[in-house]
Structure formats: C-alpha cells, structure tokens
C-alpha cells in the first residue's frame, strides 16, 4: 500500500476523531478529560503523518526497510480505524436504546456513519478501555514516525518519473510483421474506416476524423495500429503520415512539437505553442494526412481541444488513438471506437510457437512433450499477446523440460522476470487510478481467478469496508457504480455478457471479470491483505510465514473434505480479519457448520460475512458480538430462523437471505437497525415484522409477500419506505380486499423504483378466486410512479385492467410482461406507451380477439412506436388479430407466437421492419399465409430469421432474398418445400422431424448455405448427402452413443438419445475401426442432445444448466472419434 492510500485512511480517521473528541462522555471509569486528551493527541499525531504521506504515492519506494515501515504504519492505521468504529457503534447503540425507551431521536450534532448521518445523543458511554487503546495506538504511531524520520523518505526517494527511470514506454511505426498473428478482421475494419471518403472537404477548410482503439494493456492496440499504418493501401491513400507515442505526459506544447516533427521528419526549434501550431497547419495544408497517437491517457477535454486546432484547420485527415480508457476515447472520438479483445488461443499458440519453439530450439534437441507444456503456458496467458511474447522469448533458448515446468507452475512467472516486462504494461493503469479507486481495485484480488462478479455485489462489499466515502449529496452506491464504470473504462475490469434468459428482457446482463494477469497485479499491490485459499492449506501457509498470515484482512475460504483440525486451529490467528467469504462446494459442506460455531467469536472486526450455499442450519448467538458487521449474506443456506442477537448489529447495511427457503420470518428487532439499506429476501414468503416502514434509509427490498391477516400493516409499512429504488415485487395481492381503495397508493410517489412485479399469487403459485371489481381496485391502488421502466403482472384475476396500464404518461416504461390472466378478454392500450421495447403476453385463456384497442383507439399516435420484440404464448382460445394499420409497429424486429392453436386471422397490413418471425403450434389455416405475409415486404427489407414449429400441414414456396436463417421443425404432415434457390442470403437451415417433407427434383441449395442440420427427416437427409457427396465435410452432427456418454460428466448416465416423439431412437455415430474416419481438418463440432433425456438423467433442469455451462474438451481416448480431431478449436452443444 502506497503513502497516498494511507493518507486517505488517516484523513478519514482524523475526521472521526474530531467528532468524538468533542462528544461528551458519561462513563465514570473514563473521566472526560482523559478520553478527550488521548483522542486529541492521536488526532494531532495522525495529522502529522498525513502531511508526510500526501505526496508519497508518487514516490518510487525501493528500499525494503521503508516498505516494512509503511506496512507497519498501515497496520496501526487499521487499528485506529477499528477503535473509531467501535466508538461509533456505541453512538448507534445509545441512539437505538433511546428510541426503544420512547424518547425518539435526540437533537444535536450529526455523526456521519458510512455515508449518511444519524442524530447522536448528547452523552454516550465509551468503552472503559477506550483511553488506553487510543494511547497505545498513538505511542505506536510515534515510534514508527520517529524511525521513519530517520529514514528520510522524502529526500532519499524522488518523484516516480518514468522518463527519468528509463522505463518510459516508447513506440514507433516500425515493427516485425512476421510475429503478428490474428487481428485480420480488426485490421480490415480499421483500414476500411481510414479509406472511407471524408465529408465536406470544402467549405470548412478540411475535416479530421478520429478513431479510437480501446483495450487492456498488452492486448495489441499498438500492434494493430502498426499493421494498419504500414499497409500499402493506407500509405498510397494518404499524402503524409505521422506517429507519436504520447504516454502519460499530455503536454500540449511538447505533444504539438512531436506531431510536427513526425510529419516534417526534421528537428523543430520552435518553443511557443503559437509558432508550432502555425507551422503544423502550414505543413498539413491541402494534404490528406494520417496521424497515430499511441498510448493516450489524457482525460482533460480542454487539452485535446488545444492540440487538435491545427489538425482541424490544416487538411483532410484521419487520426488513430490507442488507449485503455473509454473516457479518453469519448473525449477525442468522432467515429465509433474499435474495442480490441483478447487474442484467440490458436493465434496465441502460433505466436508462442514462432518465438519459443522455432527460433531457439534445434529440432533434434526438443523434447516431445514441450509442445504440451507450451500449450498449457499459453492457456495461462489468457489471450494477452504481451504475456505470450515475454514468456516465449524467455524460453526460446531453453530445451530443459524442468525449466518449462517451473514457468508453467509459477503464478507470476518469476523465473522469466515477468515483473520487469509484463507488469509495467499493466501497472501503469493502476498508477493512473485515483487513490480511492486503488483501494477498491486491491480489494478485488480477494476473489479467485475467473470469478464472475455482479456490479451490485462488488459495490456492497466495497461499502462494507468503508471504501466508498461520498459527499453528503451522493449515495455510496452511486459512487461505487461510478468506480466500477471507471475500472471498466480503463480496461481493468472486463464485461462478460451472460444472457439471463428472461423473456421480458432480451438484452444480456452485464457481469464482470478480471483478466488473470490483472488479477496478479491486484494481488501484488494488495501486499498480502487479501487471501483466497483452500481450507486444507491453512496450516501450511501459517507454518511457512506466520507473520504474513496474521496480516491478512480479507479471506476467501474454500472448504473441502481434506481440511484438518490443524487447519481449523490456525484460523483464530486472523484476529484482524475484516472480510470472510466461505465457499463450500455442494459435496463438501459439512465442515462449514463446525467452523462457524468454533471460530466466529474470534473475528470481532469483521465487516463482511458471507456464508452462501453452506449447509449451516443456524447462526450462533455469538454473531451478535460482531459489532462492526455491515454485510451479512446467507443466500441459499439451510437456516430457518435468525437469532435475535442479529438485531444488535447497528452497523448492518446489507442483509441477503435470497434463496434461504426455510426462513419464514425476520426477527422483530430488525426494524430498529438504523443503517440497513439493502434487504434481499427470498420469494417463498418471508414474514416482515411490523414497523419496517421506520427504516427510511432502506433502498432495496427485492420482494414483499403479503399475509392474509396483516396485509393492511404491510401496505402501510411499504408506504413508509420512501427511499426504495431498483426492483420490487409484491406477492399475494389476492389477500388485499376492496377496502384497499380507502388507503393511499403505496407506490405512486416512489419515483426511483425501476422494476415492479405485481403478483396475485406467491411462489407456490397458489391462487384465490377474486371478483373482477376487487382485482381492478387493487391494481389501481398499486399504480406506480411514471418513472417505472419494467413491469410484470402475474395471476391477475380481473376481466379488465386498471386505467393507468397503457397510459402514455408512463413514458419510460420499456419492458412489460403480463402472465396468467385467465379471466381477461380485452388487452389494455399498450400501444400508446412511447418507449415500450419488449412486450410478452402469456396464458390469457379467455382472450379470443385482439383488435385496434391494443394499439390505442382515438389516438393520433401510431401504435407501438418503439416496440422491438413482441411475444404471444399459450392463448388457447385466441382466434383473431386485426386492427393493425399502416405506421403501427414501425420498429418491430421480432415476433413470436407460440401455442395459440385456434389463431386463424393475422393482421392484413405487413410489418415491414420485422426481421425475426417464430410461429409455433398455431392453426395451419392461418390467414394470410405466413409466407405470403413475410414475402410482401419490399427488398432489401424482409425477415432474416424464420422459424415454424408444430404446423399440422401446409406447403411452402418462398421468395425471400433477405432470409439468413430458416428453421422448420415438428411438422409431420409437411410435404413440400420449394424456393430454397431463391434464398440468396441463406446461411443456416434446420429441418427437424418433418418425415414426409420432399424437395422438387430441380431444387438446389443456395451457395451461401452452411452445412444444414437435418434431423429425423430421412428423404431430405438422403437428398442432401447426394448433393454434397463430393464436398469436403465441414461439420458433423453427433449424437452420444451409450458408451460415449461418460465424457459429458457424472450428471448423464447411459441412455439412448431419442427424438421428440420419444419413440424412435436416434442413430448413434458408429465407432467401429473400419468406419470412415472424419477428416483431421475438422475445426467445428456441434453436439445435439435431447433436453428431456438430459433432465431425466441429471435429475433436474439445473443439472442440465451446469452441463451446458461446461467447456467440453475432447480428451477421452475411449471415444473413438476424439483422437482424429487434432485441429478441433471450437465445440458447441445444442439442446
């Protein structure tokens, strides 16, 4: 930890000491003057230390003795924080006790706890030993600073100036193209942008376009710029070229001089900015120029505005900027940035092989297994070309297998001096972070590599550690969100998009990962504060370096069956632990309970405790001793009740009991916790104690389940939660009766709730009959604020909807899903919602017709102006859909109609914007004919994806030049399909279980088509094989044979895969040695499995999910074909 971070910690502690030094004490054991005097002395000492540390983050501390003293100073600063926060706890306790006596809040000074204020009582009872603790800490500070002064830190070490240390990164346009692999697509895209015509050459004295290349350190941004800069097409297009490595120092005068030198290729003697800009403008006047600004870090728009003036006035040009920071790109860009991702494994391997195996090793001396070791080393580089180069060059003259293994097994590749070459390329991103953000980045080293983290989870843990200290006008959560965005923009965190699979929201949820090498950097700068370890290694770590072990503040502990009693015995040594996250794999949960009961009392300084998905059945009462606890998560645990002692956690901010299905109620005293801000409950129905409305700081209440006897009080409490925001689901609205109309609406004023679920049942799907008028009154009462963005209505019992549903005042409403409305026979006018993008209507059993009322009657606005995705599902009596006129649905891209067997009439007016149409199990006599409907769109518009399932029988003749993907499945009576030749853009064709389907004799497949998937359609399969018998095989459709199924994992037992009719067995691939071998050039493999059989063998759909998430790497030699697939680089599983 550097001096700047220590300075931040000390500054915060001093602010707290200022408050407590002037707060009257009431303890007879500690006279007021003794406590006050010690607090004031500590305050003065820490102020002196802070003054010394303010600039030390910029110093390059190499002396090991200095580092040792900084580490000791950090430990004392932590101890001071603990003492201050223990004193804060006494303030909170006194306040709570005052309220419980009926005295209400005392008026007086406000003590800021975390990021909001509470009213402090006029007198508090400090711990009896507070003065002695403060004195001891002050004396330790004095001792450290006295010895530190002798070290003369400020004079011995200068500012860390990269240009003076010799480590300044310099780049040029020259490079060795023979060691560049991959990036062909990115190169062509960038060249295309550079060679595109530049607008408005006349009239403005020229134009300048700027294209940023964004990516993490070492990913190859400079190399891509070099590739493009030296391409002959580029050099022939531009009249003049320039390359400048900008780096961290964005000095306007110096940078302008460098740009001028780069273009003029001569020494420049001008020193004034005006002279430089005039000469640069003169040099570029009337020319097409290309300028590369490499490695830019400037985040000040005013500086860039000065630099670009002569470029704008000079000629017509393009500027390429490479940066790690999206903020830099936004400041400078005039065109969309090019985001550079990590390099694929095969390209990294080619680079490694070129540098490590071909150049340095003679083939006669190369060990046969070096290739296997090398491939594993490349895997650890995780697509970062810089890391591949550094390690490959270090191994280029090594043929010693043990040396290669040493590198493979070394976390930081210390044997190749990775700290000298790899880390500086990454560490500069860390060096440029603000001090507060550095502490947050260090904390992320707590998690094992490849851990996927959500933004909310990260922010909550940062809050628990006091790392987010916003001004009074801003929430800690907002600061944390800004920090996460900042780390992403700087390419320190990467977004991993994971589809949440919800029909309501087709977008992907953003979750976050950290590259392995960035993780190594985080561990390095965290200096041992964070530890992720298997429980069975605790004893050996402690034995190796007990002092280092005791300094661990944040622990991520993985339990397993190998944990010994000795491992458990060393845990109490972690007396200063602030974070404890226990991860217990499903088969190894039993140790967690024993550990918790025996060890928890030793961790009195814990701020965060996470026991997710452990098998603990109760929390010990000793958890009440964790006075500083701010974050408690028992998600998925087997706990059925929380101890009353948890109600003494006056610092608690976040309580997560999601998926704790045995938990039926919260302790009554939880309503007295003043700091609680986020309460995440499971949806199985946790009873909330009366008085929850007093928690006016509560911001998150994911769901509330109303009870049949207390719903009035619960609705009143909901009304009192004035700061609720984000997501809220209200279950069991069936219990609310007609008297609800006599109360004020509980949600109408909650302008920060963005996602609302209104459910008339609960998680058990139990329903109670409700008359139409009552249901409508309840829905009217729960009218949300117009700021709502997402709405889900489930099990609604009315015939008509409330008047607010479809009101155009809900201008921010983007997503709506209405599910299981068995009585409703008329849809609300949702077409009048101006921002609605996604709409799903499901399980409307009484609805027979959708007419103009759906779009909105009597309105001048066309229906659904922003809708992009529309789904109708399971509407068994729906017969007709009309009322669509020209101009409706102008942006609709995807339409899906599923299991509406009586639907016969489709809108007559075509929706020209639609690109994806899915029709499943509807009447075969649908009018107009669906193919005629989609074919009526004029080119180049028209659908790009069509899917037809479960049609009882019809013929197809199509002319859709824009169609790219076609799926026809489960159509046993379909006999004819013609017009494939006309599908000139088609690249994907799936035909599944159409046993009677035929093609005309003259039918030919379009040249754009990739190998199709033809299943249980024998005639078409034979026809295709005849058509392609002379073509090389590019893709195989494999179905697991009983003897091959073991490679899928333990979840799948031997079973014969079957087709959807569950009667006919799908033929497995032959394994006999005399069968033809698949080609060794095969590079793509797709596995198709039966979902129903997987579920049956796995025991649940969740088992299937786990199987699908695995990466199947074919290594099992018992599977006959695997040994042939030496070039296989891609595997996929379709279920």
The token pair at 1119 is 């599977």
Q: What is the pLDDT of residue 176?
A: 78
Work out the percent of the chain whose per-residue pLDDT is above 90.
Answer: 25
Residues 597/602/603/609 CA torsion (nearest 10 deg): 0
Tell how many helices (H) and how many strands (E) occur in the chain. Answer: 32, 37
pLDDT at residue 415, as a whole number? 36
Secondary structure of 343-375 in HEC code, one letter for each residue: CCHHHHHHHHHHHHHHCCCCCCCCCCCHHHHHH
The answer to whether residues 250 and 210 touch, using CB atoms and an 8 Å cutoff, is no
Each residue of 956-973: pLDDT tens digit? Answer: 666 778 889 999 998 888
pTM score, two decimals?
0.73
Give CA–CA dist 617/599, Å, rounded.
16
Please tell me the distance from the alpha carbon of residue 117 to that of residue 100, in angstroms, as a whole number. 19
DSSP state for residue 749 in the 8-state scheme: T
- Checking DSSP bridges between strand 945-949 and strand 790-794, what pairing results, if any? unpaired
- Range name among 40-54, 438-452, 462-476, 538-552 with the lowest pLDDT average: 40-54
Q: What is the pLDDT of the chain when averaged over all its residues?
A: 76
| CB atoms inside a 10 Å sphere around CB 170 | 9
Q: What is the mean pLDDT of residues 298-315?
A: 85
- Predicted local confidence at residue 577, as pLDDT: 94
Give the pLDDT of residue 124: 55
331-364 residue pLDDT tens: 888 888 888 888 899 889 888 888 886 544 455 4
Determine which of 70-79, 257-266, 530-539 has the lowest per-residue pLDDT on average: 70-79
- Residues contacting residue 870 through CB under 8 Å, at least 6 positions apart: 839, 840, 864, 889, 892, 894, 895, 896
User: Rounded mean pLDDT of 802-828?
Assistant: 94
202 CB-near residues (< 8 Å, 6+ apart): none
DSSP code string of 791-807: EEEES---SS--TTTT-
Higher pLDDT, 393 or 812: 812
Lowest mean pLDDT among 402-411, 847-856, 985-994, 1072-1081: 1072-1081
Taking only the tens place, the pLDDT of each residue in 222-256 is 899 999 999 999 988 998 999 998 877 788 998 99
**Average of per-residue pLDDT across 835-843:** 96
**pLDDT, average across residues 880-886:** 90
pLDDT value for 514: 85
Distance of alpha carbon 342 from alpha carbon 516, whole angstroms: 12
Which of helix, strand or coil describes residue 623?
A: helix
**What pLDDT does residue 299 have?**
84
* pLDDT band (50, 70, 90) for residue 395: confident
Report pLDDT for 85. 86
Q: Once rounded to an integer, what is the mean pLDDT over residues 212-220?
A: 88
**Per-residue burial over 582-604, b = 16 or more CB atoms within 10 Å of its CB, e = otherwise:** bbbeeebbebbbebbeebbebbb
Q: Taking residues 460-467, report their average pLDDT.
A: 94
Separation of alpha carbons 907 and 863, rounded Å: 13
Q: Above 50 in pLDDT, residue 171?
A: yes
Q: 583: which residues sit within 8 A by CB, 6+ positions away? A: 556, 557, 558, 559, 612
Nearest in space to 631 (alpha carbons), one of 395, 879, 460: 460
What pLDDT score was predicted for residue 753? 95
Report the pLDDT averaged over residues 100-108. 49
CA distance 16 to 23: 11
The predicted pLDDT at position 609 comes to 96
Mean per-residue pLDDT, 169-196: 84
Q: How far apart are CA 383 and CA 404, in angstroms?
A: 19
* Residue with token string 């003897």: 1043
Section 727-731 average pLDDT:
93
Query: What are the residue ranges of helices labelled H in 54-172?
Result: 64-100, 130-151, 153-156, 162-165
Closest C-alpha among 586, 587, 612, 611 to residue 599: 611
What's the pLDDT at 928?
A: 63
Res 1038 pLDDT > 60:
no
- The torsion angles phi and psi of 34, rounded to 5 degrees, stand at -65, -50
- Rounded to whole angstroms, how far apart are CA atoms 1000 and 359? 58
Q: Which of 507, 493, 500 is nearest to 455 (CA)?
A: 493
Of 214, 221, 431, 429, nearest in space to 326 by CA: 214
Whether pLDDT at 16 is above 90? no
């Amino acid at each position: 930890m550097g001096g700047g971070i220590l300075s931040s910690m000390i500054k915060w502690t001093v602010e707290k000491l200022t408050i407590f030094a002037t707060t009257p004490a009431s303890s007879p054991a500690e006279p007021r003057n003794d406590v006050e005097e010690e607090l004031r002395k500590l305050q003065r000492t820490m102020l002196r230390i802070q003054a010394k540390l303010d600039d030390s983050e910029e110093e390059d501390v190499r002396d090991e003795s200095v580092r040792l003293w900084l580490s000791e100073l950090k430990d004392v600063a932590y101890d001071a924080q603990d003492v201050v926060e223990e004193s804060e706890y006494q303030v909170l306790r006194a306040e709570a006790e005052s309220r419980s006596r009926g005295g209400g809040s005392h008026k007086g000074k406000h003590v800021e706890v975390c990021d909001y204020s509470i009213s402090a009582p006029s007198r508090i009872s400090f711990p009896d030993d507070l003065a002695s603790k403060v004195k001891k800490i002050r004396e330790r500070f004095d001792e450290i600073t006295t010895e530190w002064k002798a070290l003369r830190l400020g004079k011995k070490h200068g500012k860390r100036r990269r240009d003076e240390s010799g480590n300044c990164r310099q780049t040029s346009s020259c490079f060795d193209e023979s060691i560049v692999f991959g990036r062909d697509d990115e190169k062509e895209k960038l060249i295309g942008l550079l060679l595109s015509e530049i607008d408005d050459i006349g009239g403005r004295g020229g134009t300048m376009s700027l294209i940023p290349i964004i990516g993490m350190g070492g990913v190859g941004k400079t190399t891509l710029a070099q590739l493009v800069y030296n391409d002959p097409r580029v050099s022939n297009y531009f009249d003049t070229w320039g390359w400048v490595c900008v780096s961290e120092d964005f000095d306007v005068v110096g940078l302008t001089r460098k740009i001028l030198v780069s273009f003029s290729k001569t020494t420049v003697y001008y020193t004034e900015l005006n002279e430089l800009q005039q000469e640069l403008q003169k040099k570029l006047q009337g020319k097409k120029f290309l300028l590369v600004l490499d490695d830019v870090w400037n985040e000040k728009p005013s500086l860039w505005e000065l630099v670009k003036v002569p470029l704008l006035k000079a000629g017509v040009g393009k500027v390429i900027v490479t940066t790690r920071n999206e903020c830099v790109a936004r400041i400078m860009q005039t065109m969309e940035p090019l985001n550079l991702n990590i390099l694929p494994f095969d390209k990294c391997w080619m680079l490694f092989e070129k540098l490590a195996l071909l150049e340095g090793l003679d083939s006669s001396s190369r060990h046969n297994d070096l290739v296997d070791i090398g491939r594993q080393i490349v895997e650890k580089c995780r697509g970062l070309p810089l890391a591949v180069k550094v390690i490959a060059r270090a191994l280029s003259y090594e043929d010693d297998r043990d040396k290669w293994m040493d590198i493979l097994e070394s976390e930081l590749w210390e044997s190749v001096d990775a700290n000298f070459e790899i880390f500086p390329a990454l560490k500069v991103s860390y060096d440029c972070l603000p001090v507060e953000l550095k502490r947050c980045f260090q904390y992320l080293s707590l998690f094992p590599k490849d851990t996927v983290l959500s933004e909310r989870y990260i922010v909550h843990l940062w809050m628990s550690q006091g790392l987010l200290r916003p001004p009074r006008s801003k929430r800690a959560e907002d600061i944390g969100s800004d920090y996460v965005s900042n780390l992403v923009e700087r390419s320190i965190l990467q977004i991993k998009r994971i589809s949440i699979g919800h029909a309501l929201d087709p977008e992907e949820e953003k979750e976050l990962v950290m590259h392995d090498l960035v993780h190594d950097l985080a561990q390095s700068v965290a200096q041992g504060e964070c530890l992720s370890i298997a429980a069975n290694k605790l004893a050996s770590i402690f034995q190796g370096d007990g002092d280092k072990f005791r300094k661990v503040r944040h622990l991520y502990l993985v339990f397993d069956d190998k944990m010994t009693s000795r491992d458990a015995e060393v845990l109490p040594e972690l007396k200063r632990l602030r974070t404890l996250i226990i991860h217990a794999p499903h088969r190894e949960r039993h140790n967690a309970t024993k550990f918790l009961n025996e060890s928890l009392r030793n961790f009195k300084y814990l701020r965060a405790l996470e026991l997710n998905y452990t098998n603990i059945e109760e929390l010990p009462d000793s958890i009440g001793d964790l006075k500083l606890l701010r974050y408690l998560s028992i998600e998925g645990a087997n706990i059925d009740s929380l101890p009353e002692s948890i109600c003494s956690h006056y610092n608690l901010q976040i309580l997560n009991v999601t998926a704790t299905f045995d938990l039926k109620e919260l302790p009554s005293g939880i309503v007295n916790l003043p700091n609680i801000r986020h309460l995440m409950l499971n949806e199985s129905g946790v009873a909330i104690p009366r008085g929850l409305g007093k928690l006016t700081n509560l911001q998150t209440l994911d769901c509330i389940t109303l009870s049949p006897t207390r719903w009035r009080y619960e609705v009143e409490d909901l009304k009192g939660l004035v700061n609720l925001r984000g997501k809220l689901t209200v279950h069991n609205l069936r219990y609310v009766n007609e008297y609800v109309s006599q109360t004020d609406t509980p949600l109408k004023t909650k302008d920060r709730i963005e996602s609302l679920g209104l459910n008339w049942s609960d998680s058990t799907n139990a329903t109670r009959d409700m008359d139409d008028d009552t249901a409508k009154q309840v829905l009217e009462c729960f009218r949300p604020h117009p700021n709502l963005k997402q709405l889900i209505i489930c099990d609604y019992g009315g015939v008509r909807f409330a008047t607010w549903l479809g009101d155009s005042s809900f201008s921010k409403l983007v997503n709506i899903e209405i599910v299981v409305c068995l009585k409703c026979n008329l849809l609300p006018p949702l077409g009048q919602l101006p921002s609605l993008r996604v709409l799903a209507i499901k399980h409307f059993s009484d609805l027979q017709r959708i007419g103009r009322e759906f779009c909105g009657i009597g309105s001048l606005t066309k229906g659904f102006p922003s809708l992009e995705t529309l789904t109708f599902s399971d509407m068994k009596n729906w017969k007709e859909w009309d009322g669509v006129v020209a101009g409706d649905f102008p942006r609709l891209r995807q339409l899906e109609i599923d299991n509406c067997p009586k639907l016969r009439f489709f809108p007559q007016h075509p929706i020209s914007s639609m690109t994806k149409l899915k029709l499943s199990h509807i009447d075969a006599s649908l009018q107009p004919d669906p193919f005629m409907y989609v074919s009526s769109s004029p080119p180049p518009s028209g659908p790009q994806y069509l899917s037809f399932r479960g049609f009882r029988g019809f013929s197809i003749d199509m002319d859709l030049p824009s169609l790219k993907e076609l799926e026809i499945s489960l159509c046993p009576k379909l006999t004819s399909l013609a017009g494939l030749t006309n599908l000139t853009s088609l690249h994907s064709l799936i035909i599944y279980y159409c046993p009677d389907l035929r093609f005309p004799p003259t039918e030919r497949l379009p040249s754009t088509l990739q190998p199709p998937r033809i299943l249980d359609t024998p005639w078409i399969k034979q026809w295709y094989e005849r058509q392609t018998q002379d073509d090389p095989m590019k893709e195989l459709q494999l179905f697991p044979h009983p003897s091959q199924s073991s490679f899928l994992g333990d979840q799948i037992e031997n079973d014969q895969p079957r087709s959807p009719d569950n009667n006919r067995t799908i033929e497995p691939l032959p394994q006999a040695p005399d069968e033809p071998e698949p080609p060794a050039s095969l590079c793509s493999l797709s596995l198709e499995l039966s979902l129903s059989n997987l579920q049956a063998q796995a025991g649940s759909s969740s088992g299937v999910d786990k199987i699908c998430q695995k990466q199947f790497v074919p290594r099992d030699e018992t599977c006959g074909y695997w040994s042939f697939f030496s070039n296989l680089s891609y595997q996929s599983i379709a279920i």
